[in-house]
Structure 1
Amino acid sequence: MDCTDVEEGYKVRYTPLVPGDYFIAVKYNGFHIVGSPFRVPCTGELLASKGVTETSSVMVETVTKVSKKSSHVSLPVFKSDASKVTSKGMGLKKAYMNKQNTFSISASDAGANLLFVAVYGPKGPCEEVFVKHLGHNSYQVNYAVRDRGDYVIIVKWGEDHIPGSPFKVEV
């Protein structure tokens, strides 16, 4: 097994010695990434004796990467006021496991900017957060949680938190 630094991230190579199902766990900060562990069915010649159980692991200390491409994208300068953004909905107070939880955001009086929404729970970031622009700087946010516990919902209009953010939500 080896790991190589590539422009998009990291490339890990391994050679299975016996045909069968292999499980590959990929973790970040000690938590499985979405989909991990991955089941990989392997076929081919028998290169070692069956019955021996082996595990291999590689740990990569990540570093901040800088693109080799010279094109730099700069954001426009926005004039807005996050304090004028309003939010409402049950999904900001209480959430239910394995159901769509919803809330709305209105930034119609806040000027132009970018909306950022994050839902973070006891086991890390929420796997599914959907933000739908409804027009006129109004948005609907849907998210699903899979674990019980306390969650934090962060809503920013540009660089600034909207009133009430971060929101504490019980599941």
Structure 2
Amino acid sequence: MPAVPNIRTEIKVVGDGIVNDIKVGKPASFQVLKSSGGGGVLSFAFEGPNQVEYVTKKLEDGIVEVTYMVKEAGHYEIKVYYQNIHVPGSPFVVHAIGERPKKEIPPELEEKIKKIKVYGKNLEYGKPLALNKVVIDCSESEIDKNELIVSMASPRRRASIINLEDNKDGTFVLTYKPTDPGMYKLNIEVQENHVPGSPFNVNVRGGSIAEYI
């Protein structure tokens, strides 16, 4: 019986977006070659100081182009998987330099953002696999739930489930549930402008979920 070709080992990842320094706030891209023919699935993960936005586009001959943009300087790992297994060369390490271009904030919005307060014991310390809560107080700023953008990032591939509950009094309860211990960054923004203190460094520490049940 002829050997089944290992498509994963034939996959190549090329492009400036994995070999050169990239710039914060500027699109970067790379291409995945020979990704078709085995019936498998490509997947991607980005790890670094902040969350990474990316889009994929299928081209001809099994080529997949990935375009991404980072919001913060630092080192990032780009992981490319085929059937949940790293392709040759993955993870790729890139360095982002520069700062995100600052948008002019209308004075009225800037004053509103300055009045937002964030507090709670889980703003500095959290527990893995537990519901950690933080209060976002917008009672003096007239900012509603739809204007708030919250996210959580980690140097490693760790998920964090986030929920935002409206208390109907100008305050909101942000609940996050990280999967593993480690240092996370909690981003709270209004129209892509960080609220005072954001991003917040959150130290998630502890053992298994059994400790918190």
TM-score normalized by the length of structure 2:
0.46
Return the offset for 1:126: 3.5
Aligned partner letter, 2:174: V
**Could you say which residue in structure 1 is the equivalent of 2:58?**
none
How many angstroms apart in 2 are the aligned matches of 1:162 and 1:136?
A: 19
Deviating runs (4+, > 6 A) in structure 1? 12-16
Q: List alignment gaps of at least 5 residues for structure 1.
A: 2-11, 17-22, 31-57, 65-76
Determine helix, strand or coil for the equivalent of 2:187.
Answer: strand
- Number of residue pairs aligned between Structure 1 and Structure 2: 117
Label 1:98 to 1:104 Cα distance change in 2 as closer, same or farther (>3 A). same
Label 1:15 to 1:154 Cα distance change in 2 as closer, same or farther (>3 A). closer
Aligned partner letter, 2:43: V
How many angstroms apart in 1 are the aligned matches of 2:192 and 2:46?
A: 25
- Structure with the higher fraction of residues in helix conformation: 2
Label 1:59 to 1:138 Cα distance change in 2 as closer, same or farther (>3 A). farther
Determine helix, strand or coil for the equivalent of 1:109.
Answer: coil
**Could you say which residue in structure 1 is the equivalent of 2:45?**
28
Say whether 1:153 aligns with 2:153: no
In 2, are the aligned partners of 1:118 and 1:125 still within 8 Å (CA)? no
Identity %: 21
Among 133, 144, 148, the alignment partner of 1:115 is: 148
Rg: which structure is higher? 1
Among 136, 149, 166, the alignment partner of 1:133 is: 166
Determine helix, strand or coil for the equivalent of 1:143.
Answer: strand
Aligned partner letter, 2:170: N
Q: List alignment gaps of at least 5 residues for structure 2.
A: 1-6, 8-34, 48-61, 69-105, 205-213
Structure 1 residues 69-104: Cα deviation after superposition (integer angstroms, max 9, x where no partner): xxxxxxxx9943111001111221101111111111
Determine helix, strand or coil for the equivalent of 1:110.
Answer: coil
